[in-house]
Structures are given as C-alpha cells and as structure tokens.
Chain A
C-alpha cells in the first residue's frame, strides 16, 4: 500500500479529462495523505509505548525508525518544512529537526531502561522537530498528564495532579512550588542537552497557562517544600507510570505512609498532619 513510487490504479474512469496530470496529482496527494496518516499512526503508537507496563524496545525502535524514514522523505519532498513551520524556530534547518536526535529519550540513570519517549511529549515539543500537527501535540499535553498523574506517584506528579484538580475546580489549590519545580526541570533539561532553551519555555509556558496561575497554599507549600523534585524528572513522570492502572487514588495516600520511597516527605512531621488535607484534596480531584 505504501510502496514508494508505485502508481495506484485510477479506477474512476469518468474523470480522465486532463488524463495524466490529474491522475498524477491525485496519486501524489493520496500518497501523501497515506504517508501522513502513517506518520500520525506511528506517533500515536510511540506515545502509547511508554504508557504500557513494559515498553518493548524492539517495537519502539522499529516505529521510531519508520517515523524517521517518513520524515526524511517528507523533508526531501519539502512537505515537512510546511508542517513544522508553524511551531518551528525559523532559524533551524530541516536536518536539525529530524527525529533522529529526539525520538529515543535519554536514559534516566546510567543504565536505566530507556523509555521510548513520545515524540509529542515535552521532549518532543521542546525540540519542535517531530510534532506532526498541533492537535496531536496539545492532546498529549493535557490528556497524558491528567490521566497519568491521578494515579501516579508522588512528588512532581502529585503536584501536577494538584494542578489538574485546580483546572477543574478553580480552587486555590495550586502549588506554587510547581513553578519552581518546573524551573528546576528546565535547568536540568538544558544542562543535559544543547538545544535552545526558549522553546522549552514555550512548552512549559503553554502548560502553565492551561492550568492557571498558581497561587500560594500554605499547607501544601509546606508539605512540598522539602520535596526534591529534581528526582522526579519528566522521564519518571511520563514513563514510569507502569503501576498507574493498579493504584487507586487512596493508594497514593497509603504510599505517603512510612513504607514508601520519598524519605523527604516521610521525615517531615508536618506532612502527617496534612494527610487529612490531602485526603480532602484527593476527594475533590477524584470527585468521589
């Protein structure tokens, strides 16, 4: 179906008026439509990859290579330039935008299993290379975050779930430390890569606008002031949610109790007394 260069049969015999040229144009546009839909499908598959229990590296690599192939061809055709022009830093040359550099995310730790990052994730958007169209991009930002974070782990994710709740309730539950958390994020990301920082700002800027300007909430602020958010970088948040489906909202509260990971939270005595407040917040978010 996607054999490059093969002309498909033009079955409608009535419209052979301008014969070759019309046929050629139709074939070309249908080919690029198919190519585009294949690209969209691949990007969605990559996005779903890292939400699974165990992302299959072989499958991810094969899909990423397919995306890269399509992009190279589209770049060659000139159609890629049109697609990305809208969001792109005009100064970048097409070759810099190729998926090659961004599709496969960097590992969290030295030998951590690489989570194949959605090319439409923060990383992808930041690089502004692989976004096929804006719709896909914005869908991922809101849906991914809200769906994943509600059942996800604490720290960064917890903070973001607070924001999702805010979005819905317009309460002053925003966590201002998220702002600082994100700034830390940006710094960390920039250190790790050499790409332009202002595009990062654009994406994070978009995110913040979505969720309103965070106002202070003293209890939560105190609660999270000790949290070392740099540990929960985007990789963890977006890709580490394998246990997500299995944890209910109240499991999260249970996990704030002694046995769980983040020692910073547990060691703060104040947090225990704030568990009731968290309880209340979770109820609002979950809407139970």
Chain B
C-alpha cells in the first residue's frame, strides 16, 4: 500500500483528484508549467504561466485507517513572479514559472525556490494559527488608544485562530542570467544551489543575493558559432561537488566543482553514438535532451529526449544502460511535428521513490510508466472521462499503422495540443501528479 513504490505494472493506478477548471476554455495564465512534490511528499507545488504558485497539502487525518485516501487540498496560493519589462532590450520578461524546487525542511516553515526566465526567488511558507490578543496600547482593530485612557498594564496573550498560511519572499536572486533560466537545483549541502540558462550555469548561496559564481559558460566568443545550448542541469543528490548538465546535441556532462572554479571542462561526457540507420535531418533535434534527473540513490541518471527515455550508469559514459521508447510511432511523423513545432516540446521525466519505475508524458494526455525491474511499460491517460473516484486507469494503446484493433487509437487521431510535459512522483508512496494543459491530476495506487 504505502510502500516505497512497487513495480509499475503490479500497481494499478486509480484516479484520485483533479484540480483546475473543468471547461475546455483554457486561460493562458492557468497553464501549468511546473509540478513538484516536497521531500516528504506532504506538499505538492504547481507553478503556472501567470506566475502563480499553488501549494496543495496532503491531509493526514485518515492515515491510520486501512483504506486511506489521502487527498491533496489547497494549502497556499501566491503570486510568485510578475511580468517585467526589460527597457534596455525592449523585451518583456515572462512571469511564467519555469521551475520550483523545495528545500529540505529545517524548521516549522517550508522553503521553496521558484524561477521564471530571469529571476529566482526564495519563498518562505509558514503557518500561523495563533494571534496575540489584549494589547495594552492598541484596540483590537489596531488603532492606538488614547494615552490618557490607559490606566492599567496588561500583557497580550496568544489565542488560537483559524489557520493562516503565509508566503513571503525571503530572497530575490536577480540579474545573473542573460539567457532564459531552464533549471534550478538545490545542492545536498543545503546551502547552495545552481541555476542554468541556455549558455551559463551559476552557483548561488541561499543567503547571498548580490553575488553568484559562474561555473559553466559555453557561450562562444563569436555568437555566430553557437550550435549547442544547455537544456537542463542538476546537482547530484549526495555528492555536493558533482552536477550534470545536458545539451541540445544529446550529450550530458558531469562536472566536479573541486577540479576547478570554472567547470567548462567536464569530468565525464555521456553520449550515445548515433544510429546511422535512423539518421535524418531531424536526428539532432530529436536527440536534444529536454530533462535530466538523478536517481534517488545517486547511481544513475535519466535523460529524456523527444522519442525516448535513457537510463545512464554514472560509471559508463559511452552508452546508456537502458533505453525506453516513449512514442516511437511518432518517428514517421517527424516532418509534421517539425512543421507544427511539436518537435520542440520539452517533456520532463521522474523516478519513483525506490528508482524502480520511471514516468514521462506524451501527447493526447497520455503518460508512460516504464518499469525498469520488470522491463514492462504501460500507457495511461489523464482524461475527464476516467474521473470517477477510485476508477482504475485502463492501459491505452496506440496503433502505428495498418489495422486498428478495438480500443486502440491511431496515430493520426492523437491530439497534439494535449501534451503532458510535467509529471511528479511522491518520494515515498505511489502517488503521482500529472499536469495536462491546465489541470492537475492526482493518481494513486489502487488499495484493495
């Protein structure tokens, strides 16, 4: 039941909740742009295109019951970033939240980092369930009492009040990125974090906002020679000196910060040689890595490119140890996908708690669960049709060509506007959060 997350195919997934507007008329600002569980899994944060962060909290009341259904309810909502205008370049800076990363909890308050294209902010989310009452010098509404009327002395006492969750910005890390920030990653030392844009990676201290160190710079002296950009970066979960970054050419570089101040020279380069039989004009584009994630145990990393998910052993650079096809049936459609720009969609991927299953999104609101231990995979759909409480999700199948069997959907019927780019897996339980365009679906393991 609430284990570390068993095999993806032993598990039957059921619908739990859906958040967001029901109608099909999607407001641009409501488009979800990032999803992230905190380290305990109790909190689930989403960021949207309108610069807002919504945090859901798992209710813990029914945990003791055998058939518990922990639900996530809105805990806090706040406006993290506002649209800005860069006057020097005549450019609008979008308020869209690109990434949210939680800090490990140290005290009663929760902290998270949220970033848009240019600025990272550290937010403190704290609860207030008591308030002082009985001030000596103030009325209850806050007005100061006339000094002449005060004849006694009294000390205010704390009385319980309705729970109030406050989010306040504690740090603003700005003006360090010329290009668009695509990743942030908190270091295991819990003091530093990195932020990566298309050409540079900066190292910050969480307490210091006016300075950051540039640790990777791949900007060529002559911009006309630019052929490769950074697409994602992450710190190793245990080794505070190690981080990786992926590129648009399908390579991953592992860097050790002990080697030198500027980590332009990688310690390891992970790259799979190209398959000559599959070569086309789109080969490079589909090899561009959209996401890289270390496994929880720190021995592997996973990369997502347009058509596949690859698992790499950190000790083997020349090829991945596992490769999973996400939607191979799209390979023959690459030209159309190039035309409608879908080929540039950046899908994310995630590990389950014990690194045995990985998950990633696809089109038509499909998402894929890839079981590493059993070498099996399943395609599921996040749709309004399967929204009955505890309804088990049925595996979906896509027919690449030829005769379409019953219950299969043909490639040409896929809705490419319905893409699942962001998914998250609870760190300990089999609970997943899947973001469609403007809805957040929460699925749980079927409990018998």
**Is A147 on the interface with B (CB-CB < 8 A)?**
no
**For residues 101 through 119 of chain A, which have their beta carbon under 8 Å from a beta carbon of chain B?**
101-109, 111-114
Rounded to whole Å, the gap between the CB of B119 and the closest CB of chain A is 14
Alpha-carbon gap, A69 to B229, bound state (A): 17
Q: Which of these, B223, B231, B284, contacts A104 with CB under 8 Å? A: B223
Alpha-carbon gap, A3 to B248, bound state (A): 20
Q: Give the contact stretch, choosing among A16-24, A52-60, A174-182, A196-204.
A: A52-60
**Is B339 on the interface with A (CB-CB < 8 A)?**
yes
**Is B296 on the interface with A (CB-CB < 8 A)?**
no
User: Known: A1-B335, A3-B279, A58-B248. Contact between A240 and B198, CB under 8 A?
Assistant: no
Q: Give the contact stretch, choosing among B85-93, B127-135, B418-426.
A: B85-93
- A243→B90 contact, CB < 8 A: yes
- Please name all residues of chain B whose beta carbon is closer than 8 Å to the beta carbon of A65 when the two chains form the complex: 227, 284
**Is B158 on the interface with A (CB-CB < 8 A)?**
no
- B332→A1 contact, CB < 8 A: yes
**A-B contact count, CB below 8 Å?**
106
- B224→A57 contact, CB < 8 A: no
Max chain B CB contacts within 10 Å: which of A41, A103, A242? A242
- B224→A106 contact, CB < 8 A: yes
- Please name all residues of chain A whose beta carbon is closer than 8 Å to the beta carbon of B282 when the two chains form the complex: 2, 66
Rounded to whole Å, the gap between the CB of B231 and the closest CB of chain A is 6
Alpha-carbon gap, A108 to B229, bound state (A): 19
- Please name all residues of chain A whose beta carbon is closer than 8 Å to the beta carbon of B344 when the two chains form the complex: 56, 58-59, 62
Q: How many residues of A contact B (CB 8 A)?
A: 43
- A2→B226 contact, CB < 8 A: no
- B229→A105 contact, CB < 8 A: no
Alpha-carbon gap, A258 to B52, bound state (A): 34
Q: Which of these, A56, A62, A109, A242, contacts B180 with CB under 8 Å? A: A56
- A100→B224 contact, CB < 8 A: yes
**Is B54 on the interface with A (CB-CB < 8 A)?**
no
Alpha-carbon gap, A286 to B117, bound state (A): 35
- Please name all residues of chain A whose beta carbon is closer than 8 Å to the beta carbon of B227 when the two chains form the complex: 61, 64-65
- B87→A261 contact, CB < 8 A: yes
Output the nearest chain A residue to B178 by Cβ-Cβ distance: A111
Q: Which of these, A56, A70, A106, A111, contacts B281 with CB under 8 Å? A: A70
**Is B179 on the interface with A (CB-CB < 8 A)?**
yes
- Please name all residues of chain A whose beta carbon is closer than 8 Å to the beta carbon of B107 when the two chains form the complex: none
- Please name all residues of chain A whose beta carbon is closer than 8 Å to the beta carbon of B334 when the two chains form the complex: 1-2
Rounded to whole Å, the gap between the CB of B28 and the closest CB of chain A is 12
Alpha-carbon gap, A53 to B288, bound state (A): 23
Residues 273-296 of chain B, each 1 if its beta carbon lies under 8 Å from chain A, else 0: 000001111101100100000000
- B226→A114 contact, CB < 8 A: yes
Rounded to whole Å, the gap between the CB of B33 and the closest CB of chain A is 14
- B87→A240 contact, CB < 8 A: no
**For residues 290 through 344 of chain B, which have their beta carbon under 8 Å from a beta carbon of chain A?**
332, 334-335, 338-339, 341, 344
- B335→A105 contact, CB < 8 A: no
- Please name all residues of chain A whose beta carbon is closer than 8 Å to the beta carbon of B231 when the two chains form the complex: 58
Alpha-carbon gap, A62 to B420, bound state (A): 22
Output the nearest chain A residue to B199 by Cβ-Cβ distance: A57
Q: Which of these, A4, A59, A111, A241, contacts B279 with CB under 8 Å? A: A4
- A236→B280 contact, CB < 8 A: no
- B179→A57 contact, CB < 8 A: yes
- A61→B248 contact, CB < 8 A: yes
- Please name all residues of chain B whose beta carbon is closer than 8 Å to the beta carbon of A54 when the two chains form the complex: 91-94, 117, 180
- Please name all residues of chain B whose beta carbon is closer than 8 Å to the beta carbon of A106 when the two chains form the complex: 222-224
Rounded to whole Å, the gap between the CB of A277 and the closest CB of chain B is 26
- A62→B90 contact, CB < 8 A: no
**Is A38 on the interface with B (CB-CB < 8 A)?**
yes
Rounded to whole Å, the gap between the CB of B285 and the closest CB of chain A is 5
- B223→A57 contact, CB < 8 A: no
- B90→A153 contact, CB < 8 A: yes
Rounded to whole Å, the gap between the CB of B349 and the closest CB of chain A is 18
Output the nearest chain A residue to B281 by Cβ-Cβ distance: A2
- B224→A62 contact, CB < 8 A: no
- B335→A38 contact, CB < 8 A: yes
**For residues 114 through 136 of chain B, which have their beta carbon under 8 Å from a beta carbon of chain A?**
117
- Please name all residues of chain A whose beta carbon is closer than 8 Å to the beta carbon of B223 when the two chains form the complex: 104-107, 114
Alpha-carbon gap, A65 to B279, bound state (A): 15
- Please name all residues of chain B whose beta carbon is closer than 8 Å to the beta carbon of A59 when the two chains form the complex: 341, 344
**Is B225 on the interface with A (CB-CB < 8 A)?**
yes
Rounded to whole Å, the gap between the CB of A187 and the closest CB of chain B is 20
- B281→A53 contact, CB < 8 A: no
User: Known: A57-B198, A61-B229. Contact between A3 and B224, CB under 8 A?
Assistant: no
- B178→A62 contact, CB < 8 A: no
Alpha-carbon gap, A70 to B87, bound state (A): 38
Output the nearest chain B residue to A236 by Cβ-Cβ distance: B90
Output the nearest chain B residue to A5 by Cβ-Cβ distance: B279
- Please name all residues of chain A whose beta carbon is closer than 8 Å to the beta carbon of B42 when the two chains form the complex: none
**Is B71 on the interface with A (CB-CB < 8 A)?**
no
Residues 154-179 of chain A, each 1 if its beta carbon lies under 8 Å from chain B, else 0: 00000000000000000000000000
Rounded to whole Å, the gap between the CB of B359 and the closest CB of chain A is 23
15 A-B residue pairings within 8 Å (CB atoms): A1-B280, A1-B332, A1-B334, A2-B281, A3-B280, A38-B281, A38-B338, A54-B180, A57-B229, A58-B198, A58-B288, A62-B288, A62-B344, A111-B178, A236-B90
Closest CB pairs A-B (n = 6): A240-B90, A57-B198, A1-B335, A3-B280, A111-B178, A2-B280
- Measured CB to CB, the residues of A under 8 A from B are 1-4, 34-35, 38, 41, 45, 53-54, 56-59, 61-62, 64-66, 69-70, 100-109, 111-114, 153, 236, 240-243, 261
